[in-house]
């Protein structure tokens, strides 16, 4: 007798497309089993989705049992997600992304996660593709049992003939992520707990010389890819544009808007509900600016009731560039009463403030924003 543990992450909503692909997927027929890849040693080219299961979210939804005892131990981590034993497919646990946040995948995609596993040494990881209305499956084997470990499912390594749907095309939207564990002999003590899921892509055929470490935990991701009308707040807090200004594609970026009553432009990103920062909190994004005299990034520390800011220097005008800011080490409180930005402090707003050059009109664009814990300082 076989029993199956199911953990569905970022799964498609029931109404998605109104097609069979929105149903709970079958665990059968994954791609051929492969050994799980190790934890990446560098920050990826782009992170397009993540879940840390710390607090219920509006941009990321999940269903499962919160686990607060058996979890990876590091500062700021309090919760993981436990899968339940399902006697049938109707008992599958579900985690989903809202329709407005279906992210675009790359040409070379991977899914990293922490896991605690007992009762089997293999997992099937499945991505649901909204554009193709089907799933991409990969089975990883040789996993550790009985202790927390890490794995990376490499979807770029799956042979097209062995995957049920072939390769993922760059720009296609992810509607769901499923992790399944099949146990032999109906083991009643079988367990599957997952934490810190990070979906990312690399640039195929290119090396990565980035010295920034792979995130320990991702707190927030913003890709600005959905159509603007999905986000009513963007009309006052930022504008999504999809053409012009040397954009790499038409997926969308955030553009600063005039701040009422002030001679500056502003981008505001609401963190709802507030999220906890980590031991080494960093903000990374791609930015473009021109005719700017001063650019400042701010995070509102709800725990200390004040903004922490960093002034961005040496931004080359008219060019897209990747910027990484260390708010744990460099963030300055606006009131001047400096306190430590400790793991567990909650934040509820991110800001970019842009002052123009004299006689000019400042322009600021951001894309691929990630707020994350980089790990030990």
pLDDT of residue 165: 60
- Which residues are paired to 228 by β-bridges? none
Least confident residue range of 19-23, 269-273, 279-283, 305-309? 19-23
Q: Residues near 350 by Cβ (< 8 Å), separated by ≥ 6?
A: 220, 268, 269, 271, 283, 297, 298, 299, 300, 369, 371
Q: Is the pLDDT of residue 142 over 60?
A: yes
Q: How far apart are CA 215 and CA 328, in angstroms?
A: 15
Q: Which CATH number fits domain 2-214: 3.30.160, 2.60.40, 3.30.310, 2.60.120?
A: 2.60.120
For the ranges 19-28, 200-209, 225-234, 356-365, the lowest mean pLDDT is seen at 19-28
Closest listed residue to residue 221, CA positions, set 364, 14, 46, 376: 46
**Cβ-count burial of 35 within 10 angstroms (0-12 exposed, 13-18 middle, 19+ buried)?**
exposed
Q: Which residues share a beta bridge with 179?
A: 7, 125
Does position 60 have pLDDT exceeding 80, yes or no?
A: no
CATH number of 220-373: 2.60.120.260
Q: Long-range contacts made by residues 331-340, C-beta under 8 angstroms, separation at least 24? A: 331/299, 332/308, 333/301, 333/304, 333/306, 333/307, 333/308, 334/298, 334/306, 334/307, 334/308, 334/309, 335/306, 337/306, 339/304
Cα–Cα distance, 118 to 98 (Å, whole number): 31
User: Rounded mean pLDDT of 90-94?
Assistant: 31
Neighbours of 270 (CB within 10 A): 11
306 beta partners: 301
Mean of the pLDDT values across residues 42-56?
Answer: 91
- The Cα–Cα gap between 13 and 16 comes to 5
pTM, rounded to two decimals = 0.89
Residue 197, pLDDT above cutoff 60: yes
Banded model confidence at residue 110, pLDDT cuts 50, 70, 90:
very high
- pLDDT band at residue 25, thresholds of 50, 70 and 90? very low
Does 162 sit behind a cis peptide bond, omega within 30 degrees of 0 on the bond before it? Answer: no
Structural contact between residues 136 and 165, judged by C-beta atoms closer than 8 angstroms: yes
* Reduced 3-state DSSP string for the chain: CEEEEEEEECECCCCCCCCHHHCCCCCCCCCCEEECECCCCCCCCEEEEEECCCCCCCCEECCCEEECCCCCCCCCCCCEEECEEECCHHHCCCCEECHHHCCECCCEEEEEEEEEEECCCCEEEEEEECCCCEEEEEEEECCCCCCCEEEEEEHHHCCCCCCCCCCCCCCCEEEEEEEEEEEECCCCCCEEEEEEEEEEEECCCCCCCCCCCCCCEEEEEECCCCCHHHCCCHHHHCEEECCCCCCCCCCCEEECEECCCCCCEEEEEEEEEEEECCCCEEEEEEEEEECEEEEEEEEEECCCCEEEEEEECCCCCCCCEEEEEEHHHHCEECCCCCCCCCCCCEEEEEEEEEEECCCCCCEEEEEEEEEEECCCC
In the chain, the largest separation of any two C-alpha atoms, in whole Å, equals 76
In the predicted model, is pLDDT for residue 94 greater than 70?
Answer: no
Q: What is the pLDDT of residue 219?
A: 95
């Amino acid at each position: 007798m076989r029993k199956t543990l199911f953990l569905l992450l970022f799964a498609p909503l029931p109404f998605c497309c109104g097609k069979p692909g929105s149903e709970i997927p079958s665990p059968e027929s994954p791609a051929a089993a492969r050994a799980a890849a190790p934890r990446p040693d560098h920050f990826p080219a782009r992170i397009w989705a993540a879940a840390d299961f710390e607090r219920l979210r509006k941009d990321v939804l999940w269903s499962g049992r919160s686990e607060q005892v058996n979890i990876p131990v590091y500062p700021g981590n309090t919760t993981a997600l436990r899968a339940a034993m399902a006697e049938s497919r109707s008992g599958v646990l579900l985690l989903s992304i809202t329709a407005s946040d279906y992210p675009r995948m790359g040409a070379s995609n991977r899914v990293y996660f922490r896991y605690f596993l007992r009762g089997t040494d293999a997992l099937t990881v499945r991505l649901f593709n909204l554009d193709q209305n089907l799933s991409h499956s990969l089975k990883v084997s040789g996993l550790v049992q009985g202790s927390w470990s890490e794995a990376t499912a490499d979807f770029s390594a799956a042979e097209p003939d062995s995957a049920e749907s072939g390769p993922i095309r760059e720009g296609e939207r992810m509607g769901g992520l499923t992790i399944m564990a099949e146990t032999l002999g109906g083991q009643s003590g079988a367990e599957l707990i997952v934490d810190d899921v990070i979906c990312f892509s690399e640039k195929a055929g290119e090396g990565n010389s980035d010295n920034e470490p792979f995130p320990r935990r991702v707190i927030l991701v913003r890709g600005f890819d959905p159509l603007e009308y999905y986000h009513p707040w963007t009309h006052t807090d930022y504008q999504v544009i999809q053409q012009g200004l040397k954009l790499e594609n038409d997926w969308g970026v955030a553009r600063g808007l005039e701040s009422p009553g002030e001679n500056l432009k502003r981008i505001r990103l609401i963190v709802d509900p507030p999220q906890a920062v980590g031991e080494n909190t960093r903000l990374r994004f791609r930015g473009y600016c021109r005719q700017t005299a001063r650019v400042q990034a701010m995070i509102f520390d709800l725990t200390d009731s004040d903004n922490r800011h960093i002034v961005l220097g040496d931004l080359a005008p008219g060019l897209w560039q990747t910027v990484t800011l260390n708010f744990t080490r460099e963030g300055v409180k606006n009131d001047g009463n400096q306190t430590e930005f400790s793991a567990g402090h909650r934040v509820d707003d991110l800001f970019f403030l842009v002052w123009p050059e004299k006689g000019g009109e400042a322009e600021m664009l951001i894309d691929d924003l990630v707020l994350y814990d980089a790990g030990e300082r």
